[in-house]
Structure 1
Amino acid sequence: MNKKHRTSLKDLAKELGVSIATVSRALRNSPEIGKDMQDKVKALAVKLNYRPNPFARSLRREAPKMIGVIVPNLVTHYYAAVLDGIEDEARKAGYSIISANSHEDCITEARITDNFINLHVEGIIACLAQNTTDYKHFNEVADIGIPLVFFGRTCMTDRFSTVTANGDEAAQQATQHLIDTGSRRIAFIGGPNHLDMVKRRKHGYLEALRDNNIPIERELVFCNKIDYDVALSACTEMLTRENRPDAILAFNDIITFAAFNAIKKQHLRIPDDVALIGFTDDVHAEYVTPRMSAIADQSHLLGETACRLLLKNIEGDKNVYKEIVPQKLIIRETSAKTMKT
């Protein structure tokens, strides 16, 4: 037997052709909503057997107050470290965290957002799934009045506060290092082009090539799905060309280790044949052979910063903030052709 759908605020709003915010206020007898509309909302709520989540009601009556966090891939060190920073900052202010994994899927992300709305969280911190191009579920959050802060991958920066890294500067610095140490045909393996994070990192890479009068070759720029197998296939195809790249700048940890393994499988030497720098966490980069040159996020600090901005919003600050947490280029053994150890 199929499980019956629980009527949500969103369902009531859709049926009546009004916003979720209007429905929520009507059910709370807000003076902002006229009596006729209040009666319509309440009558429909009875008809559709709408029942507020009892867990949410208990949260509103008792501590702890809750913040919802949406991440694309909870098992990676980056998102785990960001979440740890959010939790540390939230705990100081008397809040607890509910985290959910979108699995890089927009539909799942929208469902999580709806669940958080129904749970009456005090605020939401989110990083976009890689295939999210429709932001209406986040607009609903704002319409209801729930504070929302984006980190990493962001959208609608005129409406929501954001915390990002200086990916453009870091990518430019890393590409310049590859050039300075002997690389000339440098490939960039990225994620979907619509993501602001991809745009920033690719921009920095291209700027470094322009600054050094190195021609930009389209066949050395691959931006597609953030997926290990996709990146492995792309890197392998590049490395088996007659005029293969002599260096790779990789967008994130998944793509970095796909590139690392592709180079190894082709029996090429790192960095002598192909140098490699990845945007990846410093923990894993330290424990491969050769040790990985990495552009490392200050993930914990990024999480703390995102939570601080959210708490400001929760406390009534309506300003939209744009915070940048700088990344660190850490040079090890995979990048410097002319710096033998």
Structure 2
Amino acid sequence: MRKRPVSLKTLAQALSVSMSTVSRALRNHPDISPELTRKVQLLAQELQYSPNPLAMGLLRSQTYTIGVIVPDLVTHFFASIISGIERVANEHGYHIVIRSSYESYQKEKECLADLLKLRVDGIIMCLAQETQEYAHFDALLDAEVPLVFFDRVCRATEVATVVVDNQEAARRITRHFFEGGYRRIAHIAGPASLNITQERIEGYQQALAACGLPFEESLLVHCDLSIASATAATQRLLALPNRPDAIFGVNDTTAFAAMKELKRQGLRIPQDVALVGFTDEFHATVVEPTLTSVMHPTVEIGQEAALLFLEQARAATHPAPRQTILTTQLVVRDSSAPKPA
């Protein structure tokens, strides 16, 4: 038989006091006499009592847990953001419970419902790519449950958000290509409903105009962020009568898929087609050629999201939503080397 852990109830019954008295004695609360505090703490040590954060939280109508929902648990991008969230949460006495929506709108709703059943104190999340309707957040907003979006966001006037300056990053990529001698610059964008897609397209188009290049609809293609879809998007671009000489992917996964297809068709990178990604995953440094990419401050995104959560959780009244906009860095590598003079 598995031995049940010693609980607050066990200590309270042994000392004929209430569970709340035991809880306060373990925290050296001044309302509890030094003698009783000593008895409680000695018994807890003797029985090897370990506090259960969830049980302690329920006594205070607070669980000190944060629900975190991400589109996937595989990519370094989301793992690194989770690391940032957890670091700040732990420093302030919180724990996190992580769920994945697997890019599904329906799964996202299920994750949200499940976490609320666990009585988490609030939610930090990134939208699934399928999510185009946001009514499932209404109950949280009405109840003023702390809610923070990061990267892929919605309802920014109502919800605290942490994002990067996607427009500026896309402008920087496009200018980088132009300054390297590239003139037919294509963009493989993400699903049209996502804010990151819209903002990166806007930056791409703004930079084309600033460089004196026309925007051609055929050079802008969408994908669903999967490798298969990005591969198909690359094939459409390369099948154009006048193919692009540079491709900017909405993320590194898209760029890696494009790189593989370019090589399959016998094209050289960057001599025939230059390539830039977005996220700067670890793999960008080990592929051949190494991939130029926009580096996200992923740990900082997670930390800022956790701080925005704490700001809400500790406020006497629900604070106005704040948007934190972080900067990115273009890390130039071999895949976008300038054209020979």
Give TM-score, length-normalised by structure 1: 0.81
Q: CA RMSD in A?
A: 1.9
CA distance in structure 2 between the partners assigned to 1:103 and 1:294 by the alignment: 24
Q: Following TM superposition, by how much is the alpha carbon of 1:241 offset from its aligned partner in structure 2, in angstroms?
A: 2.9
1:178 is aligned to 177
**2-structure distance, mates of 1:124, 1:285:** 31
Amino acid of the structure 1 residue aligned with 2:273: V
1:275–1:334 CA contact under 8 A, matched in 2? yes
Structure 1 gap segments, 5+ residues each: 1-54
Q: Which residue of structure 2 aligns with residue 24 of structure 1?
A: none
Cα deviation per residue 1:226-245 (whole Å; 9 max; x = unaligned)? 21101101102211333111
Residues 1-341 of structure 1 aligned to structure 2 (within 5 Å): 59-61=57-59, 65-316=64-315, 318-338=319-339
Preserved CA contact (<8 Å) 1:152 1:163: yes
Determine which structure has more spread, i.e. the larger CA radius of gyration: 2
Q: Is the 8 A contact 1:239 1:266 kept in 2?
A: no
Which residue type is aligned with residue 284 of structure 1?
A: H
Comparing 269-278 with 216-225, greater Cα deviation is found at 216-225
Q: For residue 117 of structure 1, what is the amino acid of its counterpart?
A: L
How far did residue 283 of structure 1 move? 1.6
For 2:307, the aligned partner's letter is R
| Matched residue SS, 1:334 | helix
The 1-side partners of 2:240 and 2:220 are apart by 14
Amino acid corresponding to residue 83 of structure 2 in structure 1:
D
CA-to-aligned-CA distance 1:222-264 (integer Å, 9 cap, x gap): 1232211011011022113331110000001221111111111
The more displaced of 308-317 and 63-72 is 63-72
Cα offset, 1:114, TM superposition: 0.7
2:123 touches 2:148 (CA, 8 Å); kept in 1?
yes
Q: Deviations over 1:167-217 (max 9, x none)?
A: 110110111010110111111001111111111111111111001111111
Please give the secondary structure, in 2, of the residue aligned with 1:89.
helix
How far apart are 1:60 and its partner, in Å?
1.9
Provide the TM-score with structure 2 as the length reference.
0.81
Q: Secondary structure at the match of 2:334?
A: coil
Q: Secondary structure at the match of 1:176?
A: helix
Distance 2:304 2:157 in 1: 18
Asked whether the 8 Å contact 1:56–1:118 carries over to 2, the reply is: no
For 2:181, the aligned partner's letter is: G
How many residues align? The count is 287
Residues 256-278 of structure 1 deviation map (CA, whole Å, 9 limit, x = unaligned): 11111111111111011000000
Quote the offset at 1:319 in angstroms. 2.0
- Structure 2 unpaired stretches of 5+: 1-52
2: CA distance, partners of 1:309 / 1:256: 32
**Whole-angstrom distance in 2 between the partners of 1:211 and 1:205:** 10
1:118 Cα deviation from its structure 2 partner:
1.2
- Whole-angstrom distance in 1 between the partners of 2:338 and 2:102: 37
Letter in 2 for 1:334: S
Quote the Cα distance in structure 1 between the aligned partners of 2:209 and 2:253. 27
